[in-house]
Amino acid sequence: MSEMRVVSGIQPTGDLHLGNLLGAILRWVRMQDEAECLFFLADLHALTADVDPSKLHSSIREMAAALIASGIDPAKSTFFRQSAVPAHSELSWILQGTARIGWLNRMTQFKEKSGKNREGASVGLFTYPVLQAADILLYQATHVPVGEDQKQHIELTRDIAIKFNTDFDVDLFVPPDPYIGGGTAARVMSLRDGRSKMSKTDPSDMSRINLTDSDEAIAQKIRKAKTDPEPLPDNAEALDGRPEAKNLVGIYAAVTGESVEQVLTRFSGQGFGDFKPALGDALIALIAPIRGRLDELRRDPAELDRLLGAGAASAADLGSPVLEKARAAVGLAA
C-alpha cells in the first residue's frame, strides 16, 4: 500500500453544483498529483431515495462527464461506478454485522433526509453510512476528501474499522481521516438562505449554481442572491452573524484561490453592488470552460462507458484482497 491513498465518491443524482465543486471535486482534482486516488459514482447510494430508473441511468453518464470536465483524469485516477464493483455491496453486508444501531441512530443526515417520515424511509437510507464505510475500507483509504456534511460518516467509518479489527483480532482496516477544507470551501450555503447548505434537492434552482448554467444564469443567480445592506467588513470575524455575506465571500475566496482576508482587503467598505459582479465574473471564469468540456464529453457516451469500465476493472483488482481477508476474518473463507 502506498503511503497515502485517497478515496471519495459522489451520488449521481441531479446536476453537479458549486457546493460539490468547491467542497470536494476541485480538491479531488488537486490530489490526483499528490497521491494514489480512487473516485467513484455512488450509484448504489442513489437507490436509498426514490428512484426513477431512466433518470438514474442517464444521470450516471452525465455525472461521469461532469467530473472529467472538472478535471478528474481517468489516466491518473481510478474512476468508476460503485455498482460495477460488487465487492462494495459484499463488504457492506459484512460490516453491517459490526456497525451498531445506536451508532446509526446518531447520524444527522439520516434524520434530515427521513424527516418526519422516519418509519416510511427505506432501510437503505438508514444503513447508507455502512455502505459508505465499505467504499472507503475496501481500498484501505487513508484520506477521504469530502465537504463538512460528510464528516460524521467518515468518523463512523473509523469506528467500524476499529471495532472490526478488534472483534476479529486482525490488522485489516485502516481508520481513515476526513479531509475537509484545505483551500476549498468546506460548506457552501444556499444563495437564498445562508443557513442551509447548497444542495441538489433544494426545490429552488436559484439557490444553487449548476455546472450546466449559462453565463447569464450564473450572473443572474449571483445578482439575486440574498445579502444584507451592510458594506463588506475588513476582517473575517466581522462576517460572523452575516451568513449570506460570509457565504459569498467564502465562495469568492475558494474560486480565486485567495484567503478570505485577502478578499476582504480588496473589497472592504464596498457594498454588494460592487462585489456581486466581481463574484459573478469569477464564477463564470471557473465554470464556462468546464461547461464547454462537458458539452464535448456528452457527445461520446461509448467512450465514457469504456473509461468507467476500465476503472471498475482496476478498482476490483485493488479491492479483492481486502474483501478476501474480511471474509476470512469473519469465518466465511479459510
Which CB atom, from 61 or from 197, has the smaller least distance to ligand TYM? Answer: 197
CA separation for the pair 59, 35 (Å, rounded): 28
Beta bridge partners of 143: 6, 177
Question: What DSSP string runs through 43-105?
Answer: TTGGGGS---HHHHHHHHHHHHHHHHHHT--TTTSEEEEGGG-THHHHHHHHHHTTS-HHHHH
Catalytic residue among 113, 221, 226, 276: 113
- Give the phi and the psi of residue 80 in degrees, each rounded to 5: -160, 175
Kindly tell me which residue out of 78, 132, 210, 227 binds ligand TYM, with binding defined by CB under 6 A.
Answer: 132
Kindly tell me which residue out of 26, 42, 66, 254 binds ligand TYM, with binding defined by CB under 6 A.
Answer: 42
Does residue number 23 form part of the binding site for ligand TYM (CB under 6 A)?
Answer: yes
Does residue number 178 form part of the binding site for ligand TYM (CB under 6 A)?
Answer: no
What interhelical angle do 260-267 and 243-256 show, nearest 10? 110
Cell numbers 465571500: residue: 249
The residue with its CB nearest to ligand TYM is 23
Binding segment for ligand TYM (CB under 6 A), chosen from 93-101, 146-154, 228-236, 324-332, is 146-154
Kindly tell me which residue out of 5, 19, 69, 287 binds ligand TYM, with binding defined by CB under 6 A.
Answer: 19
Does residue number 198 form part of the binding site for ligand TYM (CB under 6 A)?
Answer: yes
Q: Is 111 a catalytic residue?
A: no
Cell of 179: 479531509
Report in angstroms how near the CB of residue 14 gets to ligand TYM at its nearest.
Answer: 9
Binding segment for ligand TYM (CB under 6 A), chosen from 17-25, 248-256, 271-279, 302-310, is 17-25
Kindly tell me which residue out of 62, 135, 213, 244 binds ligand TYM, with binding defined by CB under 6 A.
Answer: 135
Binding segment for ligand TYM (CB under 6 A), chosen from 16-24, 220-228, 255-263, 321-329, is 16-24
CB 147, CB 19: distance < 8 Å: yes
CA separation for the pair 53, 81 (Å, rounded): 16
Q: Is 276 a catalytic residue?
A: no
Catalytic residue among 76, 151, 163, 200: 200
C-alpha torsion 320→321→325→331, nearest 10: 50
Does residue number 134 form part of the binding site for ligand TYM (CB under 6 A)?
Answer: no
Does residue number 187 form part of the binding site for ligand TYM (CB under 6 A)?
Answer: yes
Report in angstroms how near the CB of residue 261 gets to ligand TYM at its nearest.
Answer: 21
Q: Is 197 a catalytic residue?
A: yes
Beta bridge partners of 79: 39
Does residue number 150 form part of the binding site for ligand TYM (CB under 6 A)?
Answer: yes
- The helix/strand/coil state of 199 is coil
- The helix/strand/coil state of 9 is strand
Which CB atom, from 51 or from 332, has the smaller least distance to ligand TYM? Answer: 51
Cell of 120: 416510511
CA separation for the pair 252, 248 (Å, rounded): 6
Cell of 283: 464564477
Note the residues at the interface with ligand TYM (CB under 6 A).
Answer: 7-11, 19-20, 23-24, 42, 45, 132, 135-136, 144, 146-147, 149-150, 187-188, 197-199
Which residues have a catalytic role annotated?
A: 113, 197, 200
